[in-house]
Structure 1
Amino acid sequence: MRPHPAPARQRGIMLIEALVAIAIFSFAILGIVGLQATAIRAVRDADYRAKASLFADQLVGRMWADRFNVPTYALNAGVTQTCPAGGNQSGNPAIAEWLEGITDLDNPGALPGAAGLQQKVLVSADNTVTLTLCWQAPQDESPHNFTLTTQIRG
């Protein structure tokens, strides 16, 4: 006995099922690629924030070691806006060295775009220090910042 041929209205249904399965699979792959891109961006941002935290902690450590001269660490104190474009100049050698570490492109730990943004170190009368570090990666639309506030006494 030979099998009966499929009725004319059933022909091509297997092709349609295969095309629908391929379309569903393609959408799933596109979704996974989108999630991967978002995850990479989040990891990159977390890395920059961790580096900024490390730089802030380094400067606070220097200030604690030199706690009788904390007011000399002020940087861009007159700047009212957060992360404006511009350079950073300081007469304090510790601040100059710290700024070089943040902005040196040969340093793999440097923050991208930090050289073109004004970093800020505010020191109030009671030695409350507020550091604001700014950076902007090439793919970012606006600058990011990390702020640390501490009081240095002793």
Structure 2
Amino acid sequence: MLIEALVAIAIFSFAVLGIMGLQATAIRTVRDADYRAKASLFANQIVGQMWADRFNVPTYALNAGSTTCAEGTNTAANPAVTSWLAGLTDTTNQGSLPGAAALLQQITVGANNTVTVTLCWQAPQDTAPHNFTLTTQIQG
């Protein structure tokens, strides 16, 4: 009877360890989904601004031609992009993307006002940066 109890405790312990491992994976997945949702929000925010100012779309270009998610400092000539970058990289804001200030964000404007917005971030526990890309065409 004692051996049966020890076996039952061992099986229960392995089950608890397995559940703890699943919980850690679930937390990591939820965190990644949260960052992707925030990136989508920021990308749609700047595209919405571009739609409102659709006759000046080429002035929204940012770091076009740079390597995706390379380290660097973002500087923009357009004040709307500068304001958008400030919200994206504000470390006091819970809605910002972690590590976004140290990575180059990209807004490319191609033929026929085809706009591609690429956002990059890297959480402290991540080994490599993540990115989100939104492509749309803005009719002028």
Using the size of structure 2 for normalisation, the TM-score is 0.97
Aligned pairs, number:
140
Larger radius of gyration: 1
Question: Residue 67 of structure 1: CA displacement?
Answer: 0.4
The letter for the 2-side match of 1:105 is T
Question: Residue 84 of structure 1: CA displacement?
Answer: 0.8
Question: Residue 91 of structure 1: CA displacement?
Answer: 1.0
User: What does residue 153 of structure 1 align with?
Assistant: 139
Of residues 135, 140, 143 in structure 1, which corresponds to 2:129? 143
Identity within the alignment, %:
76
Of residues 47, 50, 55 in structure 2, which corresponds to 1:63? 50
The letter for the 2-side match of 1:131 is V
Which consecutive residues of structure 2, in runs of 5 or more, have no partner in the other structure?
none
The letter for the 2-side match of 1:145 is N
User: What does residue 29 of structure 1 align with?
Assistant: 16
Secondary structure (helix, strand or coil) at the match of 2:126 reads coil
The letter for the 2-side match of 1:66 is D
Give matches, 1:102-121, under 5 Å: 102-121=88-107
- Cα distance in 1 for residues equivalent to 2:133 and 2:105: 10
Give matches, 1:86-105, under 5 Å: 86-105=72-91
Match status 1:17 vs 2:4: yes
Match status 1:128 vs 2:114: yes
User: What does residue 45 of structure 1 align with?
Assistant: 32
User: What does residue 72 of structure 1 align with?
Assistant: 59
The letter for the 1-side match of 2:47 is V
- Cα distance in 1 for residues equivalent to 2:60 and 2:27: 36
Which consecutive residues of structure 1, in runs of 5 or more, have no partner in the other structure?
1-13
4+ aligned runs moved over 2 Å, structure 1: none
Using the size of structure 1 for normalisation, the TM-score is 0.89
Secondary structure (helix, strand or coil) at the match of 1:101 reads helix
- Cα distance in 1 for residues equivalent to 2:38 and 2:52: 21
User: What does residue 85 of structure 1 align with?
Assistant: 71
Secondary structure (helix, strand or coil) at the match of 2:131 reads strand
- Cα distance in 2 for residues equivalent to 1:83 and 1:67: 26
